[in-house]
Structure 1
Amino acid sequence: MTQKRYAKPLPPGSLGLPFVGETLHFLHSMKTNRPWEFFESRERKYGPVFKTHLFGSPTVVVNPPDGLKLIFTNHNKLVRGSWPSSIRKLVGERSLFFMEGDEAKRFRHILLAFLGPEALQRYVGRTHAMIQKHVEENWIAGGEIKAYQSVKEALFAVIYDLFLSLADEKEQQELLEPFRVVLHALIELPIDFPGTAFSKAMAGRREIMAKLDRMIEQRRLDLQSGKASAQQDLLSVLLVAKGEDGRGMTDEEIKQNIVMLVLGGHDTSSSSLAIAIKYIAENPSCYDELRKEHLEIAASKKAGEPLSIADVRRMKYTWRVVQEGMRFVPPTTGVIRRAIVDFEMDGYTVPQGWQLFGSMYQSNKKEKFFPEAESFKPDRFLGTGPVPYSYIPFGGGPRMCPGYELAKVQDCVFLHHIVTRFKWSLCDPDEIVQMAPLAAPLKGLPIKLTSNPI
């Protein structure tokens, strides 16, 4: 491919080695816990828009906010979704991740029957009860706890109750391990050779799918006999709900979308919540403001009364804390799209078929978007908040993450239960947060708990 084909030149940069391009450099930056260096080093050399080669495809890294606005507002005009082949194989072609056009609209309509703001009102009480139980059993004043591991266990239990009505801890653990293996191979090179991380993940996927097959078969019988309800959980909704065209999902589509939502709904929430806990410990004034908000909410409740969706919507400062944590440490590295036509961007040609990568690291720590960028300031999200398209933890446009509201509920409810009971400090203030592939404290975020009840 040469620049002579185009009216405008290709962006500057390097496509790296044949086939692998610069993917190994990118993966190395993540595994050494410095993913921003991949982007910053190339931006210094080539400018804010540059070409590279990632996950088997030539790629243009776009500049925020204009480049991100372009790809979010021109879906199915200039670009469409694109994912590394490893994710495509592990999640499945029939998940919402990979659907476009009317088909994506139909599936999104079905998923929002469970994930929409109104539907979530039915699930806040269950989320409250499960997180309360986990905190009461595992968070002990005067002791230490690995907060990230605890958060993962609690949110996994919540997800499997809300998605599959799966309350048995042994069955949950049997699914937790194969999901962990799949998660850690999502952005590996898709080499299905015995012993590789990707090969182990494919085996884990087969195990997950077999378990889901049995669950679907049993749930269909329970729905027919009246033992289960159509609104019981995500599985029931997906078995019963229809798209705008009157069609439902096949069993394979149900399984793949459950895998997609578990990976998106559990692991990204675990990451964002753990990072919030870390920064709350480092910022005492943040803890004080957060506790004030939650004490007011607790005082408005009767003894034993669970939180409601109205209570979650009152947790405005809480959500700003989570947002600021995701600015400091994004749960994921960015968003990927693929050009469906040749088009011009910032004076360069983006060829049809090339990927476009929008990185969180090109805006989240920059002073021009976030003054005093190295200071933890949740109130920067007050009012209109950041410059549009400079902050994209949940994506944007028609492909915005459908699990946004569920993530907000999980994070806010968990913080309510711990901030009304404890203060905490970091056991290792220098603990590294690694991308594996989502942001995760390397040692599990051990914290020291001090009693601070209402």
Structure 2
Amino acid sequence: MTNKTNFPDQRSTMFAPSGSSLLSEMSFLVLVAVTFLSALFLYKVLRRGHGAKTLPSGSMGLPLIGESVSFLRAQKEDRGEEWINKRVAKHGPVFKTSLMGSPTVVVIGQAGNKFVFGSDDNVLTGKQPKSFTAIAGKHQIFALTGARYKLIKGAMVSFLRPESLQNYISHMDDLVKTELLKETKEKETIMAVTFMKKLTFNIACSILFGIHDEPIKEALFTDFTLAFKAIWSIPVNFPGTLFRQGLQARSRIIKKMLPIVKKRKEELSKGTLSPRSDVISCMLALKAENQELITEEEIMDNFILLMIASHDTSATLLSLMVWKLARAPELYQKVLEEQMGILKDREEPQRQLTWNDIQKMKFTWRVAQELMRIIPPVFGNFRRAVKDTSFGGYDIPKGWQVFWVSNATHMNKDIFNDPTEFNPSRFENPSKPIPPLTYIPFGAGHHMCIGNEFARVETLIIIHHMVTKFDWSQVNPDEMITRQPMPYPSMGLPIMLNARNPSEKA
């Protein structure tokens, strides 16, 4: 009988890895494969438009992600200018990087602004990064060109130009007084950022879109808050990511709005609703040259874009105004004197504000202009090369993004004397005229923000009621600014209110 001992086969133990080492080897192979594919993808992107021979210097960062993480982190910590300046010092005023999933050329200074804002749409288009387009929609005006762009932009502008705004003043004035009284009733402290976001959102809903149902507005506000945070996120559609949350918020917005759009379409066909009632009705009535109507998808995309553009930039500026006036008593006093002067000049003290009253708020608006110079609501924005082009001696391949930066000229000492000094008088008959394309909080040229006048009127009406009814102080005097992606006081700006007339808070 043979004594058989069960030893393991040495050949199998020599060549077959254990469970843990097998996992490690597989992980290594996956890593190698991903790295190779990412490198191949990046190489092809860089080679796209291979006629480009002289790319600017710079770093493309990690495969696929690029430098998006460090850029977004710098934005959140309000170090965006530092992030840009570090690369300008190393590579010059034109450099390459990769942001939001696309290769990007960053251009700095007046010449760069002229290139971006002066280029025709057949050179640079307003197409935005993948995250923005996925959430705002592929049919919003930034993504359109030609006749379709002019048609939809024309409909929006018709509601935002000064002649139309004059008709909204009394309605906006009533809304602000009502919402301010509601927010401050029996309260000594309010969260100014949240209040300004809700107030400007309600104004946009009511005046621009004719949405008055309170539960609908509340639900839309929650979803738009998420969507806006996600438009400058890394476009990774995994559970839990900000991008995924933004996509889900977009879906909910569309689900809530489609019944409203369908109802208005029916009312328009019956003649019970005028196309001039609101922006949605106006777009529903639009017809292209071939008599083709605007689709519901186009209406949804442009509703989302205009809602984002019309309320968040204004909320940013208003939050910064409240923040600045709390920190600068001398500025607050001058703004108060101007606004009280408007009240005293009225023949009927209780009447609503008028267009003429708004035009008298010159110093208040200069404070806003100076704030937007030092802390621009929009740090910068993207364009996209439609074809191979060039700037500053460098080639920009077709499909690459071009990113412009407002601070580059706003804080340039050769353009603005003592640029770090807060000085609203620089916008009042300046001895040194501001050169064109250097002050760009709303963009410039035919790419100027279509809602800039709406934002001015809205801001001035709200500040008028804030300073004539209250003075205030910061709960956290050292509260700093962070970008989300707009610049906001980092703690939500809690302020303590003191009513000038105690009955205002009754």
TM over 0.5: yes
Specify the SS of the correspondent of 1:184: helix
Q: Which runs of 5+ in 2 are unaligned?
A: 1-45
Q: Which runs of 5+ in 1 are unaligned?
A: none
Q: Is the 8 A contact 1:60 1:354 kept in 2?
A: yes
> Post-superposition shift, 1:432?
2.2
Tell me the residue number matched to 1:272: 317
Tell me the residue number matched to 2:451: 403
Is the counterpart of residue 97 in structure 1 residue 145 in structure 2?
no
Bigger shift: 166-175 or 119-128? 166-175
Tell me the residue number matched to 1:422: 470
The higher relative CO (CA closer than 8 Å, separation ≥ 6) is in 1
Is the counterpart of residue 347 in structure 1 residue 393 in structure 2?
yes
Match of 2:351 among 305, 310, 317: 305
Bigger shift: 200-209 or 217-226? 217-226
Q: Distance in 1 between matches of 2:146 and 2:213?
A: 39
RMSD, aligned CA: 2.4
> Post-superposition shift, 1:212?
1.0
Larger Rg: 2
TM-score w.r.t. length of structure 1:
0.93
Bigger shift: 411-420 or 444-453? 444-453
Q: Distance in 2 between matches of 1:115 and 1:3?
A: 40
Tell me the residue number matched to 1:328: 374
Q: Is the 8 A contact 1:162 1:234 kept in 2?
A: no
Paired AA for residue 385 in structure 2: A
Is the counterpart of residue 412 in structure 1 residue 463 in structure 2?
no
Specify the SS of the correspondent of 1:28: helix
Tell me the residue number matched to 2:484: 436
Q: Is the 8 A contact 1:335 1:395 kept in 2?
A: no
Specify the SS of the correspondent of 2:97: strand
Is the counterpart of residue 291 in structure 1 residue 336 in structure 2?
yes
Specify the SS of the correspondent of 2:306: helix
TM-score w.r.t. length of structure 2:
0.84
CA spacing shift, 1:103–1:165, aligned 2, 3 Å: closer
Q: Distance in 1 between matches of 2:160 and 2:49?
A: 48
Bigger shift: 136-145 or 73-82? 136-145
Is the counterpart of residue 232 in structure 1 residue 280 in structure 2?
no
> Post-superposition shift, 1:413?
0.7
Paired AA for residue 73 in structure 2: H
Tell me the residue number matched to 1:70: 115
> Post-superposition shift, 1:68?
0.5
Is the counterpart of residue 150 in structure 1 residue 198 in structure 2?
no
Is the counterpart of residue 253 in structure 1 residue 298 in structure 2?
yes
Q: Distance in 2 between matches of 1:359 and 1:215?
A: 38
Q: Is the 8 A contact 2:48 2:397 kept in 1?
A: no
CA spacing shift, 1:375–1:247, aligned 2, 3 Å: farther
Q: Is the 8 A contact 1:148 1:444 kept in 2?
A: yes
Q: Distance in 1 between matches of 2:363 and 2:122?
A: 37
Paired AA for residue 156 in structure 1: F
Q: Deviations over 1:284-338 (max 9, x none)?
A: 2222221222222222332332112232222222222112112222212202112
Q: Is the 8 A contact 1:141 1:449 kept in 2?
A: no
Q: Is the 8 A contact 1:141 1:451 kept in 2?
A: no
Q: Is the 8 A contact 2:49 2:397 kept in 1?
A: no
Bigger shift: 130-139 or 234-243? 234-243
Q: Distance in 1 between matches of 2:464 and 2:288?
A: 36
Paired AA for residue 307 in structure 1: L
Q: Deviations over 1:37-94 (max 9, x none)?
A: 2101111222222111112222111121111011111122532223110110111111
Tell me the residue number matched to 1:211: 256
Q: Is the 8 A contact 1:61 1:356 kept in 2?
A: yes
Is the counterpart of residue 179 in structure 1 residue 245 in structure 2?
no
Q: Distance in 1 between matches of 2:49 and 2:246?
A: 42
Q: Deviations over 1:120-171 (max 9, x none)?
A: 2221211111011111222369822211111111111111111332233322
Tell me the residue number matched to 1:450: 498
Specify the SS of the correspondent of 2:230: coil
Tell me the residue number matched to 1:12: 57
Tell me the residue number matched to 1:113: 158
> Post-superposition shift, 1:96?
0.8
